[in-house]
Amino acid sequence: MQQIKGLIFNVQRYSIHDGPGIRTLVFIKGCPLRCLWCCNPEGQLARPEVMYFRNYCTRCRKCVEVCPAGAIKLRNGDVVFDKNLCNSCGTCVEVCPNNARKLVGMYVTVDDILKEVLKDMKFYARSGGGLTVGGGEPFSQHEFLKELLWKAKEYSIHTAVETSLYTSTNLISGVMKHVDYLFVDIKHIDPVKHMKLTGVSNELILNNIRYVIEEGLIGPKDFVIRIPIIPNVNDDHENLKGISEFISSLKYEVSVELLPYHELGKHKYEALGRDYPLSSLTSVFIPPKEHMIKVIEFLTSLGVRIVNT
């Protein structure tokens, strides 16, 4: 039987931050959210695309000569890339001598991925690690996700999923049958502000968090809520208090991880020909340790159990 193919944009081995032990991370491409601070913008669109890293380009013109779509032109000695004309054939990537062009997004079968994942079985066994599927949004390709997790479990590999849970509720239990560990983000408690910051309301997300707990689809030891801390965007007391009230209303006590804002993905926006969404918000900053300590102290005083202090 022909296997379904999934679109991924990265496989990363030896991760120690995305679930127990040493893990292999698979990044699914495509996401219904557009978080303003997203550090993986190459994971948002559900199609392959080409990134152009201008700093590495020596204007050698090789890509201009081979592009069959006329998407790359030379103008006043500079290379100009029209993404709208690009069909992601990858020809320019192959000829570029400086790795200034990168094709992100490849269609793979579950067996293709498992071949990579199985390479580190001895590390998983020693560390209690396994496979983590993130993105992008893993549920945006739920059939592929389900098959990948099911097959991983056939090899007794521990499985984790990092998701926004912005997905149809009736798709969740089929996937969760094969999930050992779950991370879900809460980005803002106010649905209107959530819409402004991510492009979608949070109602479905909060309902789905309650659903996975109340249906017993994941236990308290294996469920982590993550809160990105974006100074002057979502770290005000009103929002943190609202999130803590939601968490304390859940059927069991959930562990929380805080994700401090960083700008490691900023250069990728330029490579994708897009503006960095937070560049107009000058009040945003990378939170220093003292700032995070204040956030931790406040949340802890509200009864939130933070596990990555």
Query: Which residues contact ligand SF4 (rule: CB under 6 A)?
Result: 50, 57-63, 67, 69, 71-72, 79, 86-92, 95-96, 98, 100-101
Instruction: Output 71 or 295, the one with its CB closest to ligand SF4.
Output: 71
As measured in angstroms, the least distance from the Cβ of 91 to ligand SF4 is 4
As measured in angstroms, the least distance from the Cβ of 59 to ligand SF4 is 5
- Token pair, residue 284, equals 């945003």
Q: Which residue has the tokens 């199609």?
A: 47
As measured in angstroms, the least distance from the Cβ of 58 to ligand SF4 is 5
Instruction: Output 50 or 148, the one with its CB closest to ligand SF4.
Output: 50
Instruction: Output 106 or 306, the one with its CB closest to ligand SF4.
Output: 106
- 259 forms beta bridges with 228
Please, where are the H alpha helices in 155-288? Answer: 172-176, 191-198, 203-214, 237-248, 266-271
- 2 forms beta bridges with none
| Rounded Cα–Cα distance for residues 209 and 204 (Å) | 9
Instruction: Output 98 or 309, the one with its CB closest to ligand SF4.
Output: 98
- 229 forms beta bridges with 260
As measured in angstroms, the least distance from the Cβ of 72 to ligand SF4 is 5
Instruction: Output 103 or 217, the one with its CB closest to ligand SF4.
Output: 103
As measured in angstroms, the least distance from the Cβ of 78 to ligand SF4 is 10
Is residue 19 a contact partner of residue 12, using CB atoms and an 8 Å limit?
no
| Rounded Cα–Cα distance for residues 57 and 41 (Å) | 21
Question: CA Rg, the chain, in Å?
Answer: 21
Beta carbons within 8 Å of 112's beta carbon, 6+ residues apart: none
Instruction: Output 61 or 119, the one with its CB closest to ligand SF4.
Output: 61
β-sheet with 106-109: strand ranges across: 106-109, 5-15, 23-28, 130-135, 158-163, 181-185, 223-229, 255-260, 305-306
As measured in angstroms, the least distance from the Cβ of 236 to ligand SF4 is 43
Looking at residue 126, its amino acid is R
